[in-house]
């Protein structure tokens, strides 16, 4: 029977390197869901003013026709679907290259009861979709007024 010496220096050096290598492998753009999710789910800003709520959705590269905005029971749904296809054919009419691209998202927001859902408007400028949700008159902030003592 022969004795094999266990080299602790090798393990102390190799195991951390292996862990770093695996971290880099799984953090790669191809395998990371984190980058995929951020690319397909646009960022949203919600502002409240005294007159309305404004939902700003960052979606560059789309057209206003690509969006679908629905309101159902105080649930505002903003969605988009965009499909593209590119093809390159050779002289025989056979495909040399064909690529498909599909991009979609959906965001949903529960609206408060103090909004006027009949007057919701939207615009798309510079890659930003802005949905303006006006408040009802009774929900708007009233200016301070003096009350006389009788």
Model pLDDT for residues 92-138, shown as the tens digit of each residue? 766 667 677 777 889 999 998 889 989 999 999 999 999 999 998 87
For the CA atoms of the chain, what is the radius of gyration?
A: 28
Model pLDDT for residues 16-62, shown as the tens digit of each residue? 666 676 666 665 544 444 444 445 688 999 999 889 999 999 988 88
**What pTM value is reported for the model?**
0.60
Write out the two tokens for 50: 């005294």
Distances (CA, A) of 39 to 16, 33, 60, 61, 64: 32, 10, 11, 12, 19
């Amino acid at each position: 029977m022969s004795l094999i010496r266990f080299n602790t220096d090798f393990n102390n050096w190799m195991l951390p390197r292996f862990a770093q290598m695996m971290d880099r492998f799984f953090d790669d753009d191809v395998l990371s869901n984190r980058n995929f999710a951020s690319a397909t789910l646009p960022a949203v800003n919600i502002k409240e003013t005294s007159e309305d709520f404004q939902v700003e959705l960052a979606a560059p590269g789309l057209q206003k026709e690509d969006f679908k905005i629905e309101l159902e029971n105080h649930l505002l749904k903003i969605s988009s679907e965009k499909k593209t296809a590119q093809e390159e054919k050779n002289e025989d009419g056979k495909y040399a290259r064909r690529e498909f691209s599909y991009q979609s998202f959906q965001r949903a927001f529960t609206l408060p009861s103090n909004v006027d859902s009949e007057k919701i408007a939207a615009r798309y400028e510079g890659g930003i979709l802005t949905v303006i949700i006006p408040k009802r008159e009774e929900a708007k902030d009233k200016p301070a007024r003096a009350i006389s003592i009788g």
